[in-house]
Structure 1
Amino acid sequence: MPTGVLVGGGLAGVAAIGLVVGLLMADSGGGKPAGDKPQASTEPAGEKASPPPDPAEEQAKKLDALLADSNNSRSAVVRSVENIRTCKALDKAATDLRTAAEQRTGLVRRLDELKTDKIPDSGRLNAALKSAWKASASADNHYAAWADQVAGKKGCHKGKARHTRHTVLGNRASGTATTAKKQAAELWNPTARKYGLTERQFGQL
């Protein structure tokens, strides 16, 4: 047989063998060992970085704590004014009312010390709260002065206190406080709902 034919046949055989080996390698994953698979991640699944704290929420919580103190003297004020009208316990009424006025003034000072710039409508809310507390303090002081007058000569007539200028001024300041408290409650309550804090009616401020 001619040498060329032998060489040609040998090359064809080598090519055929190479084709078979290539197919086998393809079936086995490209020639990689069967156990050579990517390793699963050892990091815990589902863990994500915690979101940063909401500065508005932090400020709202501090304001909520302040508002919780704003109603502390309400019952004493209501009782004192009623006692003045009926000429009862006038000295105690005057003392309790002046104490309440100091407490309202303290609320204004404490609000000034709080940072509330991230709370929605904080400018209007702060203004309403300050107006309410200042007017309430004014009313308390006027009612206390009324109690002093009622305790004096001819201050009472048949168990009822005589009205004086301080009565009128106290009532006027109380009305101003009520209007401001209503506005403050409207501004505060959406923030309270958003962060799960205490919603308040105007009479609780």
Structure 2
Amino acid sequence: MVVGCAVLGLGAGALLSGGDQPDDAKPGTGTVAAGSPTPSGPGSSAAEDPAKAQAVALDELLSESNDSRAAVIRSVENIKKCDDLTQAASDLRDAAGQRRGLVTKLGQLQVDKLSGHAELTSALTEAWEASARADDHYATWADQAKGRKGCKNGQARSTSATVQANQASSDATIAKRKAAPAWNRIAEKYGLTPHQPEQL
């Protein structure tokens, strides 16, 4: 009897000692110790490449750049045919404000990690500022068209404001043609939205 009790006691002790093992000491648990590197996942490249975050922020800004294009085109066409001039002037001044807002936002972005960032930001700034000047001059043209002898046979007379607007618009186009390829190289690298010059 004494021997039987001793054997039972040893068996119970073995069970108890087995249940006290910490989980991370058991085979097959796969517990990762604190401080161990985590595997890289699909989104890890953004954290590893600080330039990607800057590219994404700039991509979001560029998505706003085409917002007023339709309104500007419509307004200029209306001025040419002396139609809805008050609304045209208002829409053009709103567009000019939006372009200047883009310049302000661009100046607040960190883009120093992006390849060719100096060329890109310079071209974008030049393009948006020239577009804003063009919008303002076209708005002035609309105001002039509303005046005495501003229109003849349903057509707005060309003025010095028209000439200035056309020149500023041309300047904007040249700058956008510089900006687009500079941005598209970045967009291709990070899988972002490419833009044609007229979309900026």
TM-score, length-normalised on structure 1? 0.77
Aligned match of 1:95 in 90, 98, 114? 90
2:34 corresponds to: none
Report what 2:103 is aligned to.
Answer: 108
**Aligned-pair distance for 1:195?**
0.7
User: CA RMSD for the aligned pairs?
Assistant: 1.8
Distance, in Å, in 2 between the alignment partners of 1:180 and 1:113 is: 20
What do the CA deviations read for 1:21-50 (whole angstroms, capped 9, x no partner)? xxxxxxxxxxxxxxxxxx988648xx8643
Alignment of 1:156-171 (within 5 A): 156-171=151-166
- Look at both structures and tell me which one has the larger radius of gyration over its CA atoms: 1
Match of 2:140 in 1: 145
Are 1:67 and 2:62 matched, yes or no? Answer: yes
* Cα deviation, residue 56, structure 1: 0.7
Q: Distance in 1 between matches of 2:82 and 2:58?
A: 38
**In structure 2, distance between residues paired with 1:164 and 1:195:** 46
Q: In the aligned structure 1, how far is the partner of 2:105 from the partner of 2:168? A: 21
Q: 1:71-118: per-residue Cα shift (whole Å, max 9, x none)?
A: 000000000000000000000000000000000000000000000000
Q: 1:180 is matched with which residue?
A: 175
Q: TM-score normalised to the size of structure 2?
A: 0.79
* Structure 1 residues without counterparts, runs of 5 or longer: 1-38
> Distance between the aligned counterparts of 1:187 and 1:75, measured in 2?
24
Partner Cα distance (2:115, 2:39) in 1: 27
Q: For 1:78-89, what aligned pairs fall within 5 Å after superposition?
A: 78-89=73-84
Identity %: 53
Structure 2 residue aligned with 1:19: none
Whole-Å separation in 2 of the counterparts to 1:53 and 1:204: 31
Aligned to 1:20: none
